[in-house]
Amino acid sequence: MGTSIVTGAAGFIGSHLVEALLEQGERVIGIDHFNDYYDPALKRKNIMAAEAHPDFQLIEASMELLNWSVLLEDVDVVYHQAAQAGVRASWGEGFRLYTERNVNATQILLEAAKEAPNLKRIVFASSSSVYGDAETLPTREDLCPRPVSPYGITKLAAEHLCRLYAHNFGVPVVSLRYFTVYGPRQRSDMAFHLFMKAILENRPIRIYGDGQQTRDYTFVKDAIAANLAAASSPDVAGEVFNIGGGSRVALMDVIDTLEQITGIPIQREHIEQARGDARHTAADTSKAARMLEYKPQVTLAEGLAQEWQWIQALYR
């Protein structure tokens, strides 16, 4: 088997991807900066099992400071998951981190990839945030993207760079637009993690706005399957794909499902709507189904139950 690099290897999606690749017999180089956007101790837990594996190497560094031309010499695939995450934190002074970590770091990787002798694919983790308040639901990849957050702007800029390097230099990059990924190891700033922790601690959960906003929720294992398919499918370099979970659900309905799963009455506290949050998201995944044979396998109820098991183990 070959060698893969996973950037953001200790993160939510990255750590699952590392484990899936090791299970397939790959040699994996994980890169993570362990920044403090959320508790680095959670990331250490995420990557602990992989660190014991003989075919795994962890590099703790910022992407901008690495010698990518040397790193990429014998690498087949790069899964570029590293990013400065979070829609709400991307306003104000923090925006500089988003341009550095989402745009500049991606450009550095793409520049080095031009000369990488054995590189077969880069899979770039993009986001449904590029669409903003999409005019059409479910949303197809060819709809004009109109981000409503600074975070979404940086992910779209990185996507455009991927397209330019594919078109001008033949860099074999594929972009995946994730729609609200959830499951075990979900970041501690994300809604389901916050909700479940509040339920565990008998606190009210905080709901932005009226709770009628809808999302296309994607279980993490389905996102991993999409990455593996994007790395190996023929004739997809330069393409962009929506990766969704297959059902659009209102937030209040999610909370009702959580009540059923946990068996605990949930207290709700409504607060004002957050700036930069899209009102509705829904993925048209027909292109991914056609070209990547992507088909989400995990229902929202199944996925929430798995995340609830993990949350209980994490905090009890």
Catalytic residues: 151
Q: How far apart are CA 90 and CA 150, in angstroms?
A: 6
* Residue 181: its H or E element: strand 181-182
Which residues fall within 8 angstroms of residue 28, CB to CB, at 6 or more apart? 3, 4, 5, 6, 9, 18, 21, 22, 50, 55, 56, 57
- Identify the bridge partners of residue 277 per DSSP, sorted by sequence position: none
82: closest CA among 52, 55, 56, 61?
A: 61
- How far is the first Cα of the chain from the last one, in angstroms, to the nearest whole number? 39
63 near 110, Cβ under 8 Å?
no
| Close Cβ partners of 15 (under 8 Å, ≥ 6 residues apart) | 9, 43, 46, 47, 50, 185
Strands 173-178 and 240-243: parallel
